[in-house]
Structures are given as structure tokens and as C-alpha cells.
Chain A
Amino acid sequence: MSDNTVFEPKIIAFLCKWTTYAAADLCGVSRMPYPSNISIISVNCTGEVTADMILSSLAKGADGILIGGCRPGHCRYEDGNLKGSNRVYLLKRVLKEFGVNPDRIREVGIAGAQGLIFQQAVEKFTADIRAFGPCPVMSNA
């Protein structure tokens, strides 16, 4: 057997319980598998995701961060999703300055009924992160 271990990315997913988390649930119930690389954290709204959560996840070994919430105009808290999205937008600039590939953070807007779309999104993101390789931030810690 080859002694190259295939890199299996660790992905942390912050999912809004009203939408993307529900989609993930639907996947589970419908027996639609998605890569086990992701660990899901349910949040009430993507606006709840702090800059510290994102940066700390990277520092603790996450290779990718998926944030799933509502599309603009659809947040039940009116603009929680916008605030969350703003934070990601600014943090990507910070990541770039520190040399980190900003595409390691991905935002998706997936409705509760879109189980298949969720499965596909996770497969795609996992493949992309696998191609990027391990995130070097943890080695700084």
C-alpha cells in the first residue's frame, strides 16, 4: 500500500437552525450521505457567529469553515444574516493579509427543504479544501 496518507480535511460548519441545519437534518433522515469531514454546530442565526469563532476554529485545526444561513431578505431576525455575512467579508480581508487562503471560508444559503443541495455543497467544499491542503494556521498556535 502507498504510505501517503490522503489528507482528510476537518471542516467546521456553523449552520443556522432554521435553514441549512434543517437541510442537513433532511439529508440524514433521507439517507443522503455527506462527507464526514464536517462537524456541524447549530446556531440560531449566522449573525451569532463571531469573528473569534471563525479564527479560533482555524487556529484549533479546522482546514475549512462552512457557514450556512439565509439568503439576503430571508432572515427571520431581519438582518442577522447580513451582519454575519459582513463579518465574513471583513475577516476574509484579514485572512488574506495574513497569507491564509480566504476561500477556506464559504458561505451558503440553503433552505430547509434543500437536502440534496446541502449534500452537494458539502461534497464540493470538502473536495475544494482537500485540494487546498491543510490550513497552516494551527502550526502557529
Chain B
Amino acid sequence: MPNKKTLAIYAAGGCGGCGQSLLLSPNLVLLLDRVDLLFWASSTSDLTDEEISAYDDRGIDLLIYAGTVRGNENIATARLLRAKAKRVVAYGACAHLGGLCGLANVYSGAQLRALPSADGEFVQPLSSVIDVDYILPGCPPPQAMVTRMMEELFIADVMPEQGTVFASNKAVCAQCDRKHVPNPLSSVRRFHTAPPDPEICLIDQGYICLGPVTRGGCDAVCLKSNRPCTGCAGPVAGVRDQGGAILHALASLVSFPGTDTEKKEHQVLDSIPDVIGTTYKYSAASSILKRRVNDGK
């Protein structure tokens, strides 16, 4: 029997949902049998940087990091963990993209009434501060993706290629079984009237759904609850800026040629509410703009 791989799990700031998604895995008990779990912070214990330093460099075979990187303390710990691990998984939307917490990047410290010690601290995805070998997307990662991660990392004989994302390379649309009924976007619909038709593509019905620009592998579970995709698994392969990409796509649907003004187009575009919350919900911190700047005005 080959030596057990060593595994460590580190949860930084976040909601704990990623930890729960691991606990829910039917493979968890099997996993714990196959690996030597060095620590699971902060679920089973807190861990000081001193204690992390005690491990050999590259001494931990696999480190799972869930949660945001916000502030110098997190950055230092992340870099320390990187030094001690052979491979690192960015687990969940916060580690992968910055997550919901990244929306805070759009506001200034004064606007956030942030804690005194948090002044000037903004959210970053883990890959902005260390090299990340693998990504498990989702908020929290759905079981199908967790299972795939466990199989590829702990059960398969060969480690997956660095850069592997344990999800589909196709957009969510590939797993959504709604019918496409092409329709120009003439006004954006919200949930103020009856729920949408469950059989037809939400964008065709005028709702904003991030499916086309979001990585799939989640079985389009939100669509099956008659809710739009909000983009929690991050941009689909080939897309760098998730919000920009969906806005780009929506812009293509708003077209009323035949006049010499853009009045009608602007009317429709103005009806898109909450551009940041809708299109950059999980990815504000990993967008091209990353965070608020001070630009004169």
C-alpha cells in the first residue's frame, strides 16, 4: 500500500459553506481513510503561522484553501502555506474569485464603515498572491464537482495536470435543458410578476442569467429551481472578466436598427438594474478592474 498522501485544509474568512460541502461528500470517510489529515483549520483547530512554519517546505502533499484573502495577515498566511505545500487547491468562490466579499472592493473604506484595522484592505483571489495548482469553483462547490475533485486528487493514481479546474469547460447552458426561443431584449424582467416559464431560456424571457459566461458542471441546479445563474463558478474557460462578458453578450441582444438615434437601446440598457451586483456578484475581486480607484471626480 503506497504511503498515504498528506492533506491539510485551511479555511480563511468566509461563511463556512465550503467546509460544509466537504462534510457532505459521500466520499469523505473514504478520503479520510486514504489520506493523513494534518490539520483542518479552522474547523477542528486554529493554527498559528508559527505552527504552519514548523512543517517542512513542500512537506504537505495537498493543501486545500477555502475563503477570502483580505489583508496582510491572510496574504502572509497564504504565502506560508504555499511554501509548505506541493499542490494547492483554491476551493470555492472566495478563494477562486474573491467571492461575494469581493463586492466590498467596489466601495471605499469610508463607505464600508470598515473595522479600523480593516481600513484599506481589499479582497483578492488566492491566485493573486500565490500560485494555485487546482481550482474547485462554486459557492459552495456542488457535490458533483467535489466528487470529481476527490476522485482526481485522492483516488486516481496520477495527479491531475496543474491548472485543472474540477468543473466543465463548457458554460452552464450546456447542462440547462431550457428551450431557446430567440428574442431581442426589449426590457429586462425582474421577479415582480409571476415566476418565469420554467421551460424557456431565461434570457429569452428577458431575465438576466449568467449561464452563457459561467463555468458549468453544476447541473444548472439554480435554473432547475427557476432562478437565474448568478455566476458562482466563475467565468467559463476563455473568459477573463465575467461581468464584462455577460454585459457584452446582453448588449448584442439590444438592437433596434432603423433609426438614427440610440434612444430605444438606451432605454432598455437603463432597465438593467444593479450592474455590479448582477454581473460581478462573485467575481468583482478578480475582474479586470479588481477594485475601486480614486479617479479625480
Binding site for B on A (CB under 8 A): 50-52, 54-56, 58-59, 71-73, 75, 78-79, 82-83, 85-87, 89-91, 93-95, 97-101, 132-133, 135-137, 139-141
Residue of A nearest to B264 (CB): A82
B272: interface (CB < 8 Å) = yes
User: Do B288 and A83 have beta carbons less than 8 Å apart?
Assistant: no
Q: Is the interface of B mostly helix, strand, loop or mixed?
A: loop
Let me know if A100 and B289 touch, CB within 8 A.
yes
Decide: A136 and B269 in contact? CB cutoff 8 A: no
The count of A-to-B residue pairs whose CB atoms sit within 8 angstroms is 119
Main secondary structure of the interface of A (DSSP, over half): helix
User: CB distance A87 to B248 under 8 Å?
Assistant: yes
Determine whether the beta carbon of A136 is less than 8 Å from that of B247. Answer: no
A82 to B248 alpha-carbon distance, docked (Å): 12
- Given A55-B289, A98-B291, decide whether A86 and B254 contact each other with a Cβ distance below 8 A: yes
Q: CB-defined interface of B224-262 with A at 8 Å, one 1/0 digit per residue? A: 000000000000000111011101101110111111111
What are the 9 tightest A-B residue pairs by CB atom distance, in nearest-first order?
Answer: A51-B244, A86-B251, A55-B288, A136-B293, A79-B257, A73-B260, A51-B248, A90-B247, A99-B292
Tell me the complex Cα distance, A78–B208, Å.
Answer: 25
Q: Is B296 an interface residue (CB 8 A)?
A: yes
CA distance A87 to B240 in the complex (A): 16
Give A106 Cβ to nearest chain B Cβ, in Å. 15
Please pick, from B244, B254, B256, B296, the residue contacting A94 in the complex, using a CB distance under 8 A.
B244
Task: Provide a sorted-by-A list of 14 A–B residue pairs whose CB atoms are within 8 angstroms.
Answer: A50-B248, A59-B288, A86-B252, A89-B251, A93-B275, A94-B276, A98-B289, A101-B295, A135-B295, A136-B293, A136-B295, A137-B289, A140-B290, A140-B293
| Contact with A78, one of B248, B257, B265, B276 (Cβ below 8 angstroms) | B257
Among B256, B279, B288, B292, the most chain A Cβ lie within 10 Å of the Cβ of B288
Q: Give the Cβ gap from A1 to chain B, nearest Cβ, in Å.
A: 27
Residue of B nearest to A90 (CB): B247
- The answer on a CB contact under 8 Å between A71 and B296 is no
Which residues between 272 and 286 of chain B lie within 8 Å of chain A, taking CB atoms? 272, 275-276, 279-280
Cα(A101)–Cα(B289), bound, Å: 13
Q: How far is the CA of A72 from the CA of B261 in the complex (A)?
A: 6
Give CA–CA (A51, B287) in the complex, Å. Answer: 12
B179 within 8 A of A: no
Residues from chain B with a CB closer than 8 A to the CB of A101 are: 295-297
Interface: B86 (CB within 8 A): no
Q: Are B260 and A51 in contact (CB under 8 A)?
A: no
Q: Is the CB of A137 within 8 A of B293?
A: yes
B291 neighbours in A (Cβ, 8 Å): 98, 140
B293 proximity list for chain A (CB < 8 A): 98-100, 136-137, 139-140
Chain A residues with CB below 8 A from B259, complex form: 72-73
- Once the chains are docked, how many angstroms separate the CA of A141 from the CA of B292? 12
A85 and B265 contact, CB distance less than 8 A: yes
- Decide if A94 touches B289 in the complex (CB within 8 Å): yes
Which residues of chain B have C-beta atoms less than 8 A from A87's C-beta? Answer: 247-248, 251
- Alpha-carbon separation in the docked complex, A54 to B247 (Å): 13
**Residue B266 at the A interface, CB < 8 A?**
yes
Q: Could you tell me if A86 and B269 are in contact, using CB atoms closer than 8 angstroms?
A: yes
| A54 / chain B contacts, CB cutoff of 8 Å | 244
Tell me, yes or no, whether B150 is within 8 Å of chain A by CB.
no
When the two chains form their complex, are residues B266 and A97 in contact, meaning their CB atoms are under 8 A apart?
no
Complex partner residue of B243 from A73, A94, A140, A141, CB under 8 angstroms = A94
With both beta carbons as reference points, the residue of chain A lying nearest to B276 in the complex is identified as: A97
Distance, CA A25 to CA B273, complexed state (A): 41
B294 interface residue per 8 A CB criterion: yes
The reply to whether A97 and B275 contact each other, CB–CB distance below 8 Å, is: yes
Q: Residues of B contacting A75 with CB < 8 Å? A: 257
Whether the Cβ atoms of A90 and B295 lie closer than 8 Å is: no
Instruction: Determine if A133 and B296 form an interchain contact, defined as CB atoms under 8 angstroms apart.
Output: yes
